Structure 1
Amino acid sequence: DCVVLQLQALNMSEEQTVSLVDVLEEDEELEEEASAVLAGSDSDHCSYPQGYVKRQALYACNTCTPKGGEAAGVCLACSYKCHEGHDLFELYTKRNFRCDCGNRKFTELQCKLFAEKEEVNTLNKYSHNFFGVYCTCSRPYPDPDDQVEDEMIQCVVCEDWLHGRHLGCVVPDCVELQEMICESCMNRNPFLWTYAAHLAGKDSCSSVMFSCSCVHTQLVCLLLCDLRERVSAASLSFLLDESDTVLAYENKGKNSEQTQPGHDPLMSALDNLNRVQQLEIIHGYNDMKSELKDFLQRFAAEGKVVTPDDIRQFFEQQQSRKRRRVDAGRFYSP
């Protein structure tokens, strides 16, 4: 399915071709992104017993709690075990949230992983994200009616996702920009404007720059001491907690995925086969790569877009040829 979706999105001209290597490289990038979000959360056990988890991957179920009802969020494990086949909204990550799955908000569903739950989680915070809309424009993502290519950025305070063009400021073109506070949250906490102006200095790539010149060191120290008091009073202490950041969570997920033994299922499968079987699989892989490349080049030469039906037909032909070879082998075997 991943291959189908990726190839569908590739508009190939006469000068542009796509090889299986390109597809696999893109798939690897997608897997790394998924690992960053999901590997930091438990995919087998409901997170409810852990209480209000500092940060975790969350989902909202449009099947069980549609718009017009009460907002609710479920953990990664419950999205797999309790809501399989349901219409889910991926919420990325949220902080200080306790899994709602099976509580009072779910009138016809009981959590399969942890049944003894309170009726509601009073400390959970909800937004329109839980009904599948985002940004100040309250639109879905991806938005089928929006033809503008625009990156969405998450506010570290309200944790809503906003289009770059709806932030109320110019987004710095800098990879070091990791975290953002939206204009609405800045206005709700106006004291933050003071620190943004002083601590950002001349560096437009960072909302708060902690690495300052000696001239500004004393000012920065005074501001940071005052900042700690103010953010604590405004219940924004997470802004000063580096372990709370999305970046820290993603790095935890990546490290967890890399340290797990045998996290590459293909290599694990090959290790369990003998030499002859390994060679057969490698030759089969190379044959498919060559055939897929030839198949895609025909579309590139004609300037056509590869559709899911085209890819499905390709793999059906592969399976048909494989069955004919197997049947022929059985017919002629002594």
Structure 2
Amino acid sequence: MAVKEGEETVSLVDVLEEDEELENEASAVLGGSDADQCSFPQGYVKRQALYACNTCTPKGGEAAGICLACSYKCHEGHELFELYTKRSFRCDCGNSKFRDLKCKFYSEKEQINGENKYSHNFFGLYCTCNRPYPDPDDQVEDEMIQCIICEDWLHGRHLGCMVPDCVELQEMVCESCMNKHPFLWTYAAHLAVPCVPIASPGIKEEEEGGGCTEEASTSTEKAKENSIASCKRTHQEMEGGCKLKELQAVGQKRDQSGAVFWPPSWRSRLCSCDGCQNSYAAAGVSFLLDEADTVLAYENKGKSSEQEQRGHDPLMSALDNLNHVQQLEIIHEYNDMKTELKDFLQRFAAEGKVVTPEDIRQFFEQQQNRKRRRADAAQFYCS
């Protein structure tokens, strides 16, 4: 295969690394969950990938959630809603909410999991606009962000503030949850990213200060420095006291509207005195003190687990022994396989079906059969 001068090329290593990145993203969500065994015996799992079955528990019925393994084994061919991850949830598959369906892993389950929390997400609806995602009637391209407290997903344009893009953001608390837990507004005034109101119609984002400008970055860093300095002063003055009361004494205020974005490690700066811990427990937000509760920690765990299972990849080592033309030939074969696999998977997505390991095995068996037929045909014409 000849390569024209000036033609842009990529190496097979580049292609595989790109695919590995996509695989890591999937592992981040699914890697921390067991695809082979129902999570029910583990009780209320700290965090796991969850699904809701619209076939078994449609809107108008009782909300229910199922684990990754049950989505494969017990609900194959059903219409499922992917819920990403939820905290402190016990698998409902096969309990009283499912009528005639029995869990194939555990036939006898408690009638109801009383500590599970449900929302309109379990019926495929999201955000304050109560719409599905993707929404066939919404032509606006907009990312969705999950609130770390209610765990609902909200459109960026419905957060009441601009989604900052000039600082590293890890977590968001929606305005509704901020108002339900007003003590967080005190911390927001000292720790959170400054709020930039959503631009008014007809006004460019840059004019509202929503872009990543040097001035915006400087003001953000300055606010962080001031809050850190004030925290140090008050902590030195009242060592061993309540951090929340210390911040309240400073009197720094923030406009109490819109969602709040928090920088990394903000949880470690929440007060953990006995009084505050009791308040967190009463409000059902004790998890805020647990930095391992974050989705980021769950994703990193999934990535690490998947990488350990893969170990050393002999394919990557073998590439060093191929010349550039051979690598390009393999890229074309590889891209053809990717296209066919994408078409194959799109059929499942269109029908709302879960792809099982058996489906993937059959796909690659078909690929091998086609390759054999092409080889036989080539041999016939050459003989």
The TM-score bracket by the shorter chain reads: 0.7 to 0.9
Secondary structure in 2 aligned to 1:105? helix
- Per-residue CA distance 1:27-67 (angstroms, 9 max, x = gap): 43321111000000111110000000010000001111111
Answer yes or no: is 1:257 the counterpart of 2:278: no
Trace 1:224-243 onto structure 2 (pairs within 5 A): 224=271, 225=273, 227-243=276-292
Q: In structure 2, what is the Cα distance between the partners aligned to 1:230 and 1:66?
A: 36
Tell me the alpha carbon deviations over residues 226-280 of structure 1, each in whole angstroms, 9 at most, x when there is no partner. Answer: 654432331211111101111111111111111114586x849x99xxxxxx98x
Determine the C-alpha separation between the residues in 1 that align with 2:225 and 2:93.
Answer: 40
1:323 aligns with 2:373: yes
- Report the alpha carbon displacement of residue 25 of structure 1 after superposing the two structures with TM: 5.2
Matched, 1:76 2:96: no
Relative distance call for 1:215 and 1:332 in structure 2 (3 A) is closer
Q: Comparing 246-255 with 324-333, which one deviates more in the overlay?
A: 324-333
**In 1, are the aligned partners of 2:193 and 2:220 still within 8 Å (CA)?**
no
The within-5 A match list for 1:23-172 is 26-172=18-164
1:139–1:24 Cα change, 3 Å: farther
Letter aligned with residue 51 of structure 1: G
Which structure 2 residue ranges, 5 or more long, are not aligned? 1-7, 195-216, 236-241, 245-270, 337-341, 348-365
- Which range moved further: 183-192 or 47-56? 183-192
1:99–1:289 distance in 2 versus 1, CA, 3 Å = same
Q: Report the RMSD for the aligned CA atoms in angstroms.
A: 4.0
What TM-score, normalized by structure 1, do the two folds share?
A: 0.73
Q: Which amino acid aligns with 1:127?
A: S
1:222 matches 2:246: no
Q: Given the superposition, is the C-alpha separation of residues 325 and 201 from structure 1 closer, same or farther in structure 2, using an over 3 Å criterion?
A: closer
The DSSP-based 3-state class of the residue aligned with 2:281 is: helix
Indicate conservation of the 8 Å contact 1:63/1:87, yes or no.
Answer: yes
SS at match of 1:168: coil
Paired residue type of 2:56: C
Aligned with 1:58: secondary structure?
Answer: strand
Q: Is the 8 A contact 1:59 1:73 kept in 2?
A: yes
> Offset of 1:216 from its aligned partner?
2.6
Matched, 1:180 2:157: no
Identity of aligned residues (%): 67
- Which amino acid counterpart does residue 122 of structure 2 have in structure 1? F
Q: Deviations over 1:190-235 (max 9, x none)?
A: 22212211333868879x9799534432446622246544323312
After TM superposition, give the deviation of residue 329 of structure 1 in Å: 2.0
* Matches for 1:164-313 after TM superposition, within 5 Å: 164-174=156-166, 176-200=168-192, 213-219=228-234, 222-223=243-244, 224=271, 225=273, 227-262=276-311, 267=315, 286-287=328-329, 289-290=331-332
One-letter amino acid matched to 2:243: L
**Amino acid aligned to 2:192:** A
CA contact (8 A) 1:177 1:205 kept: no
Inter-CA distance 201–101: structure 2 relative to 1 (3 Å threshold): closer
Q: Deviation per CA, 1:120-156, whole angstroms, max 9, x where unpaired?
A: 1111110000011110011111222222221111001
Partners of 1:160 and 1:122 in 2: CA distance: 20
Q: Report the count of equivalent residues.
A: 290
